[in-house]
Structure 1
């Protein structure tokens, strides 16, 4: 219900409300090691209570117009998500993010889902700048940023501590005029 098709392969973008916390936890368990290579979420979502708390936090963000989460489903199964970690409509800025289970990699799901999310943020919410923060070692996520028409604007050296190791973070971004004129938006 309320799904947005991402193509003819059974992929959909859907809400991910708190009542789906058990399914979200099962999804995280399936992808925990893979997702956790660059993303701290598997260290946060570890049991039913923390799974529900995470989804409730995003429900509150969405209610406050400050962020949102959308499930990526493949043939009805939750396989990943895209998020607006931050959404500041007054400032016209947002930060997008994503993750995906290993069995769903290589199908273009994140790129298609992120296109829909960014297109919504720019066209419907009037966001002028969408950022994509990524570990310099996360080549697949950097490839998504490139496919979305984003430009690398900065490298923050040793700025992110993840599981006891410091990582460089890259900031990629796309501006609304680039988005609406570019090929990534046309595909959305």
Structure 2
């Protein structure tokens, strides 16, 4: 968990309120097809909300959204965001959307009240997901935000559900080998 990047610094991509997951985050056809391959999804991330996003974004960039982000069937878009090395800071998102984002290993902060008032697209942001700090270097603004909950930190640091389960399985196999050696 020590080498996990809890602090991201990059450009802001500000989105408004009520951005749906289908056709807002990722085209609905990829959701209904249950496509989860990042190589397929990345070129289509935000293609209807912000055309050309996937070509402009780079690791460390931060998506800042208003209320009700990612409503509707979810998961695919968070896979693409995580694959690009992005962060997500929301005024609010549903429990299902938050759970889907965390399960992919995406750095995400939720319940950041009025966060869209503190940035514009293109601003240079720095977000500390572990300690709950939001800094807009362009505007010279800093504010505290709710950090990633303690109970979710290990899951995120492992890269989401798949990484956590892989680590658990390897530890379990090691325990079995240690028990066999001791016997």
Larger radius of gyration: 2
Common fold by TM > 0.5: no
Give the alignment's TM-score, normalised by structure 1.
0.32
Higher relative contact order (CA 8 A, sep 6+): 2
State TM-score, norm by structure 2.
0.32
